[in-house]
Amino acid sequence: MKILNKYSLNFALIIALSACGGGGGGGGSDYTTPPSNSAPTIDNTSTDYSTQENQTSGFMVNATDADGNPLSYSLSGPDASNMSISTSGVVSFAVAPDFENPTDENKDNVYSFNATVSDGTLTATKGFTITVTNDESDDVISVSFDGVVIRSGYVQSANVCVEATSGAVCSGSGSTTTSNSDGSFNLTQDYTGALASNEGFDVITNQSNSTANVMYLSNPSNNGVNVISPLSTLLHRNTNIDSSSLKTKLNINDNFNISSSDPFADLSNTTNSNVATINTQLVILENALLTLDPPQETDSDADNVNYKIAQAIADRTSPETSLGDTTFIKGLLENWSFSGFTLSNTIWENLSASISSYLQKVYSNGDTNAQSYFSSVAKNELNPLLTKIINETATEAELNEMIFSTIDLVDRADGVSISYDDVEAGLRTTTYSVSNVGSDYYTVDSVNADSTELVIYARVGDKIVFDPSSSSVFLNHPFELSTTQNDTSGVNNIGTSQGWDVATSTLLINSSTPLVLYPHCGVHSGMYTNGRIEIVDSYDSAKIDITNQSSGLQVKGTVAKGPFKGASGFTHKVYLREADASDDFHTHEFNEYPGLTFYMPASQGFHGASLSTSDGMFKPKSHFTAESSSGGDSGVGY
C-alpha cells in the first residue's frame, strides 16, 4: 500500500477545487469595482479683490464638485486670522478694517490668505488677496489754529483746545496748548470744533483767572487769526444773538470782526479802543455775577453767566448801548433769580449802583495797562463789596466811594502809578454862552449880567467854561475873574493857582478858589456889575430861579438816591418843580447837585443816557431865560 504525504494531499485538493470552479454555482463572479471620486474645484476667475475700509464684506469662493459631494471651507495663510468664511464660502473680515491702521502681516492693507474647499476626502486650495482702500470721509486731518486769548488784556498760560465734549472744556481733548506772554497760541488738532480756553493769568497784573472763566470761539478758521474773547464767548454761549446784532446792541463798528480782530493790537484806533473797553466790562460783569451766583454742578446751559448776559443784551429795547447803563444792570439783576439771597429793594439798588458805576468808569485810554488794572481792582474791591451788600454789612462810606468816587478808589487800590482820566469828567462841566452888547454889558445865556443879579453856583471840583459867541467878544472885551467888582485894573484878578485859565476862559474850582468871584471886562467897567460866582457846599433851591423853567430838562450827573442810584450821564425829562400829582412824579437827587430835588414822570424820561438831547440843560444859576444854542446846551436856555 502506497502512503501519500500531507503535501501531496493538499496539492490534489487544490487541483480538484480549481477543476470544479471553486464551488460556485452557475460558473459567474460577485466582485464590484469601487466608484471613482473627483476632487472639488475653485472656479473664481480672479484671486485679487478690494473693499473699502470700515466694512466687513469681502467676496465669495465659488467651488464645485463633479460628484455632487457636500463641500466645506477653511482659510489659512499669513492673514487668515483677520478673515472668516461661511459654510457657503462667503469670505469676510472678522473685524472691519481701518485703512489708517492696517492689521495685515505686511501692514500694507493687502490681506493675503488661502481658501481651501473639501468634499470630505479630497481638497482644492487657491491663494487670494483683498486690498483695503481708503474712505476719505474719515481721514484724520491735522488742522492748525493760530490765535490770541484776550480778556481785559492778553492772557498768558491759558489752556486752549478744541472742545471734545460740550462743557468739558479741554478735558478729553485730543490736543491742548497754552498761550504765550502776548496771548498768542498755535494749536494743531486732529478734528475741528469750537475753540475753548480757560485759566491763565493777566500779563500785566498777574491776576489769575478762575476755572469758571471759560471762553469760547465758534467756527474757528485755520487760515487766519482766531481771537478768543469775552465777546466771542457771548456768541458761542447764546445762539439767540448773532454777531451783527451784538455789535449793533453794543455800538461796535460793523467792520470790526469779533472772531478775528485783536482790539489790543492798536488801542490808538477808536474802534479798537471801544471794543477793548467792552471786553473789559464783560470780564468785570462776569466776575461780579459769578460772585453773586457761583456756578452749580446742576446748572444747565441756560444758567450759564455768559448765556444770561447775552440774552439780556439781545432783549434790550433801549437805544442805550453802554454795558454800564444802570437801567440795563438793574434789569439784568431783576431777572437773574439768585439762589443764595433775596433781592430786596435795598440790596437791588446798591448792587446795580455799584456795578454800573464801576462799569461806567472803564475805558482804554490808549493803554493796555489801564484795562488790566480796572479789571484787577474790580476783582479785589468791587466783588468783595457786592458780597457785603447781599450780607447787608456794607457801610455807607464804602458804597459812596464805589459809586461816587470810583476813580479815586481805583487810584488807591491799583498798587501802581497809573493816571486815570475820568471819562465822566464832563458831568461836572457847565458851559455858559457869553455875548456882549457893545461895551455896555455882557449877556450870559442871554441874561443881562449888568442889570440882573445873575449868580452862578458851583462846588469844588466843578468846571465852568465861558464860551464867547464870537471871537471878537473876548478879543475886544477881555473876560477876567476877580475878588472885587469891576476890577478893570486887574489888581485882584485870580490866576492859575486859583483854577482860572485865561486862555480858555475856564474855571476849575479847587480848594484855593475864592468863595466869591466877580467876572468883569478888563477894559470896560460895568459890563458884569451885578453878576457873580459863588462857591458852595450844597445848593439852596430857594436861590435858584425855577419860575421861568417849567419844561423838561436834562441833568448832567449821577443819581444819588433812589432805585436808579448810580445812573450817570444825561438824565432826561426832569423838572425843577413837581408837576400835577396825577403825573405820578418821583423825586431825584444828584451827587453833583446836593440839596436840590428834581422830579421825573414815571412813564417817560431816561436815567443816565450817554448822549444829550434837545431838552434844555440844567445849570445851577439864579436866573433863566430863553436861549438858542447848539450842542448839549441846545433848546430852551435859562
Cα–Cα distance for residue pair 42/480, rounded to 1 Å: 119
Q: Lowest mean pLDDT of 337-351, 541-555, 597-611, name the range.
A: 541-555
- For the chain, how big is the Rg over CA atoms in Å? 47
Cα–Cα distance for residue pair 235/219, rounded to 1 Å: 11
Query: CB of 323 within 8 A of CB of 282?
Result: yes
Buried b (16+ CB within 10 A) or exposed e, 530-561: bbbbebbeebeeeebbeeebeebbbbbbbbbe
pLDDT class of 226 with cuts at 50, 70, 90: very high
For all residues of the chain together, what is the average pLDDT? Answer: 88
The three-state secondary structure class of 189 is strand
- Tens digit of pLDDT for each residue in 569-628? 999 888 887 765 556 788 889 999 999 988 888 767 788 888 888 888 899 999 876 443
CATH number, domain 425-535: 2.60.40
List, in order, residues 6 or more apart from 5 with CB less than 8 Å away.
none
Can you say how many angstroms the Cα of residue 143 is from the centroid of all Cα atoms in its chain?
A: 24
- Residues listed for the chain: 638
* Burial group, residue 70, by CB count within 10 angstroms (0-12, 13-18, 19+): exposed
pLDDT given at position 579: 62
Residue entry with cell 458851583: 458
Can you say how many angstroms the Cα of residue 603 is from the centroid of all Cα atoms in its chain?
A: 34
Q: Is the pLDDT of residue 107 over 80?
A: yes
Regarding predicted confidence, which is higher, 629 or 442?
A: 442
The dihedral built from the CA positions of residue 305, 308, 314 and 316, taken in this order, carries a sign that is: negative
pLDDT class of 287 with cuts at 50, 70, 90: very high
pLDDT given at position 8: 44
Q: Is the pLDDT of residue 481 over 60?
A: yes
CATH fold of 140-228 reads Immunoglobulin-like (2.60.40)
pLDDT given at position 547: 67
Q: Can 41-136 and 140-228 be said to share one CATH topology?
A: yes
Residue entry with cell 470780564: 283
The residue-averaged pLDDT of 113-122 equals 96
- Give the closest residue to 404 by CA, choosing from 561, 614, 261: 561
Cα–Cα distance for residue pair 55/137, rounded to 1 Å: 14
Percentage of residues in the chain with pLDDT exceeding 90? 71
Q: Is the pLDDT of residue 483 over 50?
A: yes
Residue entry with cell 485865561: 502
pLDDT given at position 318: 85
| Cβ-based neighbour number of residue 345 at 10 Å | 8
pLDDT given at position 625: 63
pLDDT given at position 631: 33
For 41-136, CATH number out of 1.10.3720.10, 2.60.40.60, 3.40.449.10, 3.90.1150.30 equals 2.60.40.60
Q: Lowest mean pLDDT of 170-184, 249-263, 431-445, name the range.
A: 170-184
Query: CB of 550 within 8 A of CB of 316?
Result: no
- Tens digit of pLDDT for each residue in 175-206? 889 999 999 999 998 777 889 999 999 999 99
- Give the closest residue to 374 by CA, choosing from 294, 290, 287, 247: 287
Q: Is the pLDDT of residue 168 over 70?
A: no
Q: Is the pLDDT of residue 56 over 70?
A: yes
Give residue 150's identity as a one-letter amino acid code: I
Tell me the C-alpha to C-alpha distance, in Å, between residue 318 and each of 24, 120, 248, 321, 323: 127, 90, 12, 8, 12
- Tens digit of pLDDT for each residue in 44-55? 999 999 999 999
Percentage of residues in the chain with pLDDT exceeding 70? 89
pLDDT given at position 629: 35
- Tens digit of pLDDT for each residue in 297-311? 666 666 799 999 999
pLDDT given at position 174: 72
Q: Lowest mean pLDDT of 81-90, 296-305, 371-380, 415-424, name the range.
A: 296-305
Query: CB of 398 within 8 A of CB of 389?
Result: no
Cell representation of residue 527:
459890563
List, in order, residues 6 or more apart from 498 with CB less than 8 Å away.
510, 512, 513, 514
- Tens digit of pLDDT for each residue in 315-325? 998 888 999 99
- Tens digit of pLDDT for each residue in 488-539? 999 999 999 999 999 999 999 999 999 999 999 999 999 999 999 999 999 9
List, in order, residues 6 or more apart from 215 with CB less than 8 Å away.
149, 151, 196, 197, 198, 228, 229, 230, 232, 233
Residue boundaries of the structural domains of the chain: 41-136, 140-228, 249-416, 425-535, 544-633
- Give the closest residue to 592 by CA, choosing from 465, 459, 410: 459
Tell me the C-alpha to C-alpha distance, in Å, between residue 475 and each of 54, 503, 521, 523, 531: 91, 11, 11, 11, 21
Query: CB of 225 within 8 A of CB of 262?
Result: yes
Q: Is the pLDDT of residue 557 over 70?
A: yes
Q: Is the pLDDT of residue 138 over 80?
A: no
Give residue 361's identity as a one-letter amino acid code: K
Across 564-626, where does the E strand assignment appear? 568-574, 585-588, 598-601, 606-609, 616-617
Q: Report the predicted TM-score, pTM, of the whole model to 2 decimal places.
A: 0.76
